[in-house]
Amino acid sequence: GAVVSQHPSRVICKSGTSVKIECRSLDFQATTMFWYRQFPKQSLMLMATSNEGSKATYEQGVEKDKFLINHASLTLSTLTVTSAHPEDSSFYICSARDPGAGGKETQYFGPGTRLLVL
Partner 1 sequence: GDSVTQMEGPVTLSEEAFLTINCTYTATGYPSLFWYVQYPGEGLQLLLKATKADDKGSNKGFEATYRKETTSFHLEKGSVQVSDSAVYFCALSKAGGTSYGKLTFGQGTILTVHP
State the virtual CA torsion across 92, 95, 96, 97 in degrees, nearest 10.
-150
What lies within 8 Å, CB to CB, of 78 at 6+ separation is 20, 21, 22, 23, 69, 70, 71, 72
Which residue's CB is nearer to partner 1, number 82 or number 91?
A: 91
Minimum Å gap between C-beta 29 and partner 1 is 15
Rounded CA-CA distance 106/84 in Å is 32
Minimum Å gap between C-beta 40 and partner 1 is 11
Rounded CA-CA distance 98/19 in Å is 27
Which residue's CB is nearer to partner 1, number 89 or number 107?
A: 107
Under the rule (CB under 8 A), what is the footprint of partner 1? 4, 6, 32, 34, 41-46, 49, 57, 93, 95, 97, 105-112
Minimum Å gap between C-beta 67 and partner 1 is 16
Which residue's CB is nearer to partner 1, number 90 or number 110?
A: 110
- The amino acid that residue 85 corresponds to is H
Which residue's CB is nearer to partner 1, number 55 or number 85?
A: 55
Strand 10-13, strand 113-117: pairing = parallel
Minimum Å gap between C-beta 49 and partner 1 is 7
